[in-house]
Amino acid sequence: MIIELAVSAAAVVVASAVARAIVQRRAAQDAEREKRLAAAARANDPRRGLRVGDVLLHVGDELWLAGMIELDEEGTLLSIFRAPENTRTAWVAQLDDEARELALLSHSDEVPEGHVPDRLPLGGRVLSLLRRGSAKVRGHGEHLPPHGAKARFTILHDAGGRVAMVIDFEGAPRLTLVGDRVERALIDVLPGGERGPE
């Protein structure tokens, strides 16, 4: 009788351990599946960054994002938004997919024609190369300048947050923008209603 009880108790302990291992393994698989689904949802979420129709509030200014030019460099996106109703800032650049890195820019004639060098003096400051490339171009919305289907672009910056963007469109005039990076925490976004092109 005692032996049977001991064997039964041992069987219960083993069964309990096996059941616990199965539950833990399933929980780990479920957690991994949830993690993958959340990553896929973030990747397909149109609200990851700014979009046409949004209004940005920054230090008393309202910046209505009326149109967008998107530069697609083999899947790496750079978006610049036209803010036509603001006298100080004509463009907002989104330098990453999730709008954590933003710059407020205006048209400039400080950059000479021709090839943009890796180091360039602008307004008493020396900007150095941040990024250079070629991209497919998509435009969406209103108040956009002429732009081609392809472009070469150069982005320069300095440690103080100054940014210069030079976009040479294929078959359209060069777009030269100069301004400053802004901390994302200093900008509030009022979501708009339009979504960019797929």
pTM for the whole structure = 0.71
Q: What is residue 193's predicted lDDT score, i.e. its pLDDT?
A: 58
Q: C-alpha distances in angstroms, 122 versus 74, 156, 174, 178, 183? A: 30, 10, 18, 9, 22
Q: What is residue 21's predicted lDDT score, i.e. its pLDDT?
A: 77
Show the low-confidence residues of the chain (pLDDT under 70).
Answer: 1, 4-7, 9-14, 34-48, 193-198
Q: What is residue 76's predicted lDDT score, i.e. its pLDDT?
A: 84
Q: Please, what sign has the CA dihedral across residues 62, 68, 73, 75?
A: positive
Structural contact between residues 156 and 120, judged by C-beta atoms closer than 8 angstroms: yes
Question: Is 133 exposed, middle or buried (CB count within 10 Å of its CB: 0-12, 13-18, 19+)?
Answer: middle
Query: Tell me: the pLDDT tens digits for 80-89?
Result: 999 998 777 8
Return the SS3 of 169. Answer: strand
Q: What is residue 198's predicted lDDT score, i.e. its pLDDT?
A: 41
Query: Tell me: the pLDDT tens digits for 145-158?
Result: 999 999 999 999 99
Q: What is residue 36's predicted lDDT score, i.e. its pLDDT?
A: 63
Structural contact between residues 138 and 69, judged by C-beta atoms closer than 8 angstroms: yes
